[in-house]
Structure 1
């Protein structure tokens, strides 16, 4: 089979689903991976050129099955988008070890496991890995001790993989989203926080899932064939403006 194949984790909604849609528009076939079985089956049933894989990226057995099912379906693997993640916010002193491990298991262990499992297939296609971090991994903020640390680790893991896999022609990059207008963000952001982001972001608005997806798809494509080991903040300029936002400190 010559049609390119991608795996996108956390693909039942949000940035993951938007990325899958953009890649499909570019002619890719996409394996949609998520542990929300009901939503995954729903969105997969509404799209062509997709495979639904019910899997938990923090489970090594699930990850191995994810790769096998994708290769059996698509015959190859050209890109892996490590998008699956969980967000748990709260003060340091209130963050339990169980919460810490929950965040690390998906956000960090999942990236490690999925990328490691995909390497043999990606060597054959000289493919690409794209990790989703966060501006919370580029600069510290309150209430994000587990989340921010996990995303900072993803950024370093991206560079480690890029350094080691480059000789096999595998490119590994990272996108660090800023505030994005997802259903999850809108559910947890108060109007005060929304207004504060508007004032602090040079572009004066949240990003859209589609805007993130366009950058992710570009970095997975041959148009980015000489780009590896990079962290691209897709954040409307927020990362460049420094610390602020008192509304986010509560």
Structure 2
């Protein structure tokens, strides 16, 4: 039992009917979207799936001394559409993920070249839309989805932070070809750049936060810098200080 994105749908119920339409069995679906029907006699059965917020689904399975299998893809009647922008400018090809309050992915789409997106088949209920794109900070927005009315949600992606500076040798000249690394508060390398002929470097695509900028052409030197989304922060590195 899964959504169009492949996530399991827990809490659904399978009703089994025989050839004459009478109910043969009724079983719940587990949290991973799995179900199992046991002790069915040989024959053909109709499986009816119901789950809160989703459209009902049905299928047939034939039992003939061999275990049968029947998967279901459930879709809701909800529609969410809108634009992905950054400071009013459309962001093309941004990735949008719709998930439920438990973190299960309901759908994944990409915005078009004009920043427009459209997600169909969402179940009724509270949904979280998350948008991401290279060079921008991710953003998330809650939305209440209903099959009775489409929802319009515009998403704004803040530009990620940029850190730049100049690497200078102990006796004054700039240092070309030096590797500069940004390390976050957890000690993870998040960006790397090499200084140009003028000794300058530029670290891009940084989420907002505090970083340690390190270079080690001579003895390693580290400086601290705070980077904020959409801002250009400066961190010059001078050996010998």
- The TM-score with structure 2 as length reference comes to 0.24
Question: What is the TM-score when the length of structure 1 is the normalising length?
Answer: 0.24
Higher helix content, 1 or 2: 1
More strand by share: 2
- Which has the larger Rg? 2
Greater RCO structure (CA 8 Å; 6+ sep): 1
